[in-house]
Amino acid sequence: MKEHSLFDRGIQTIIYCILIAISIVTLFPFFYVAMVSVTSESEVIRKGIVLIPDQFVWGAYKTVFSGSFGILTAYKITLLRTGIGTLLNMIATTLAAYVLSRKGLPGRSSILFMIIFTILFSGGTIPTYLVVKSLGLIDSLWALILPGLVSAFNLIIIKGFFEQLPSELLESATVDGAGELTMLWRIVLPLSLPSIVTIGLFYAVGHWNSYFDGVLYINDRSLWPLQVVLRTILLQSQMQDVSQQSNDASVSSVAIQMAAVIVSTVPILLVYPFVQKHFAKGVLIGAVKG
């Protein structure tokens, strides 16, 4: 018995060591980026790889937050896009998933086929752009939200979760006179909270990290989302133009690049701890029931 217990502890120790090693490998790039962003140009050139700088230099962050890049305005645009977009995404996806989860829906199979077809084949970038332009959405926040209002993949995931709920609950609610919206709001959504939070996080991260649609649909620089501004900073820094935006000669273009990455990454990382419990539960439930 003791030998078995020692063996189990040995296996657990090995597993913990492997997980710690994976965590270090995963977190090291982010740590390195953070350190380089507060390191002077001379030290970066001298050391090559900077783990802990001799002196913390915050000039890169001052440059990034200066008015020359418009990153504060980009923050507002991205926050609006993420908040409004995720809310509309979840409303549309949840309503569509609930309707398609009802077995008695006329034409249900045909609708599901058309939805799954869009996962395999898309209309393409040019037709989508022409549709957005014909609707007058160019240079507006809605151009970043409406074209991807419902993700077919997320819709299928939530629909599958709704179908796993006990049908007796909905039948008893129907007998008691509850309507479809009442059943969705009071029964289905509370029981599906982990999956809803998980899909909501997917939508939010997608909005926060997206940049291609901003480049494609937004010509007005004042309406650029955060990732488009970050892309501009990175491109300018590669041409050594971004260092001219700083009044501090010790600030390198590499440090400004890293500072821009940190500034655009940290906010979405801060959201995860608040939804971690629901996210982990939703992923596990999806893995078991999928």
Residue 282 has a pLDDT of: 56
Contacts of 52 (CB under 8 A, 6+ apart): 35
Residue 82 has a pLDDT of: 93
Q: What is the pLDDT confidence band of residue 139, given thresholds at 50, 70 and 90? A: very high
Angle of helix 253-289 relative to helix 2-36, nearest 10 degrees?
140
**Residue 288 predicted with pLDDT over 60:** no
Contacts of 91 (CB under 8 A, 6+ apart): none
Kindly report, residue by residue over 262-279, the tens digit of the pLDDT.
Answer: 888 888 788 777 766 666
**Residue 289 predicted with pLDDT over 50:** no
Helix and strand counts by DSSP (H, E) for the chain: 14, 0
- CA triplet 87, 287, 114: central angle to 5 degrees? 60
Percent of the chain with pLDDT over 90: 27
The conformational region for residue 246 under phi > 0 = left, psi -120 to 50 = alpha, else beta, is beta
| Helix (H) / strand (E) containing 212 | helix 212-217
Residue 97 has a pLDDT of: 93
Kindly report, residue by residue over 150-192, the tens digit of the pLDDT.
Answer: 999 899 989 988 888 888 888 888 887 888 888 888 888 888 8
The CATH architecture assigned to 37-289 reads Orthogonal Bundle (1.10)
CB atoms within 10 A of CB 175: 8
- With contact defined as beta carbons under 8 Å apart, do 60 and 263 qualify? no
Contacts of 278 (CB under 8 A, 6+ apart): 193, 194, 197, 198
Residue 286 has a pLDDT of: 46
- Among the residue ranges 80-84, 214-218, 220-224, 253-257, the one predicted with the least confidence is 253-257
Q: Which of 71-75, 134-138, 183-187, 240-244 has the highest mean pLDDT?
A: 134-138
Mean pLDDT of 193-203: 87
Residue 98 has a pLDDT of: 92
- With contact defined as beta carbons under 8 Å apart, do 144 and 81 qualify? yes
CA dist 206 → 99, 149, 157, 199, 279 (Å)? 25, 12, 16, 11, 16
Q: What is the pLDDT confidence band of residue 218, given thresholds at 50, 70 and 90? A: very high
| Dist CA 97 CA 139 (whole Å) | 31
**Residue 241 predicted with pLDDT over 60:** no
Residue 4 has a pLDDT of: 58
The domain locations on the chain are: 37-289
| Dist CA 58 CA 26 (whole Å) | 25
Residue 207 has a pLDDT of: 93
The CB-based long-range contact list for 185-194 (8 Å cut-off, 24+ gap) reads 188/98, 188/162, 189/94, 191/165, 192/158, 192/161, 192/162, 192/165, 193/278, 194/278, 194/279, 194/281, 194/282, 194/285
How buried is 179 (Cβ within 10 angstroms: 0-12 exposed, 13-18 middle, 19+ buried)? exposed
**Residue 242 predicted with pLDDT over 80:** no
- Among the residue ranges 117-121, 169-173, 215-219, the one predicted with the least confidence is 169-173
Mean pLDDT of 220-242: 79
3-state secondary structure of 290: coil
pTM above 0.75, yes or no: yes
Mean pLDDT of 226-238: 81
| Dist CA 33 CA 44 (whole Å) | 12
| Dist CA 199 CA 100 (whole Å) | 17
Longest distance between any two alpha carbons in the chain, whole Å: 76
Residue 8 has a pLDDT of: 77
Residue 143 has a pLDDT of: 94
Rg (alpha carbons) of the chain, rounded to whole number: 24
Mean pLDDT of 77-93: 94
